[in-house]
Each structure stands twice: as C-alpha cells, then as structure tokens.
Homo-oligomer: A and B are copies of this chain.
Amino acid sequence: MINGELAEHVAEQRKRPGGRTVALTPDRIIEAALRIADAEGDLDRLTVRRLAAELNVGTMTLYGYFRSRDEILDGMADHALGRMKLPAEPDSGPAEALRTVGYAFLAMMREHPSVARLLATRVTDSRTALRGAMEAVLRRLVDAGVPGKIAVRCYGFLITYAIGFIGYQTPRPWGALSNAESIEQRRRRIHFYAGLPSDEFPLVVRYADAIVDLPSDSQFTAGLEAYIASTLRELD
C-alpha cells in the first residue's frame, strides 16, 4: 500500500461513525475491554485484535499502553474495583452498613460479570483498587460502628461471597436475558432436574424447584442476612 492511500485510509478510519474521535488513554482502553468482555461473556473472546478494532486503532498500538494482554486484564479488575460505588446516604448501624457493602459488591459484579471471573483468578493490589474497594469499605464499616478487625473479616467474607455467587449464578450467555427468555429457561431447568431418575437422585428430583432458584437474588440475600445476624451477635 502506498503512502497516499495509507494516509487516506487512516483519515477515513478516524472519521468513521462511532469511531475514535477522542484521545486514546489507558482508561478508555480498559473501558472498551470491559464492554467487550461483559458483552461476550467469555474472557477468552476478548482478544487484543478485537479490542484494537473496537477502538479503531491498530493492534500493536495497545502495546504502547500495556505491556501485555495480561496487564490489560489486571487493569480491568483494578478499574472496576477502584470505581465501585457505595451509596452516599450514611448507614443507620452495623447491619445496614454490611448490607450496603454486600449489595455494592454484588452490583459491581453484576455490572461487570467479567470482573468476577477476573477476581477469581488474579489478586490485585493496585492502589486504585485498594482505595476504591478495601479502604472505602473499611471506612464505611468502621464509621457504622464495626470494630476494625471485624470489619476486615467482613470485607473478606463479603467480596468472597459475591465472587462465588456471581460465578455460580451467571448462566451462559452472561448478557441479561429478557423476561420471557428467563422464564422459559427456568422452566427448562426445572424440567431437567425433575426428570432425572428418581431412584438415583431422589432429593434432586424432589427439590428441583428450589435448586433452580439457587442462583436467584433472594438466595444471595438469605446468605448475606444469615452472616449479618451472626456478626451482630458477636458485637454485643
């Protein structure tokens, strides 16, 4: 390809609707990566080439911002953890603070299902993540009256529980299902469990409907409340 054509090609590329019109920054790259991974439902499908295409830049351009694909993956976890939002209203006490934090973790991982996968694989100790998640959560709990050491324990439990829950819950494809689809899927799953040979799987067959509801939010809440109740009792 000769130079004239190349320049023209690039110019056209930048003009493309939805194309890149703003400066390329690490944050924008990470955000695009999250968008792709969350939409695709599989981290393997987030390729460097695909990410570059999404940003309308050449593949190798990204290596000017990150040393490797792995560093991009780490960046995604940092980004999501670092910007996790806790609601502004203060909590009325330890129980509500624990609830606030638990649901904040859940909400963050539901918004970025890929991050739950990431966190199940890698440990991030970046300052961004520590500030947005750990320090902020501890602050919240301590301010509501939870003693520091116990707050740390609660932090560990809550994030751990949310990671496991999202991982166990999220069906493929990750994307949000429409209401009709999810009802249909529920029906199919009940059918599956209830249709197993009942001599071999008596309990699974009998409690098929309860099993199907395991990934529902009310299950998350049940586990969370149980933990909160016990923790409160310890505080007295």
Contact = CB atoms under 8 A, between A and B. Distances in A.
A3 B168 CA distance: 51
Chain A interface secondary structure, helix, strand, loop or mixed? helix
A103 interface: no
Interface of A: 116-117, 119-123, 125, 127, 130-131, 134-135, 138-139, 142, 148-149, 151-153, 155-157, 159-165, 167-168, 171-172, 192, 196, 200-204, 206-207, 210-211, 214-215, 219, 222-223, 225-227, 229-231, 233-234
A190 B45 CA distance: 36
Contacts of A219: 153, 156-157
B227 A148 contact: no
A223 B142 CA distance: 19
A199 to B, nearest CB: 11
Given A161-B160, A227-B226, A211 B152 contact: yes
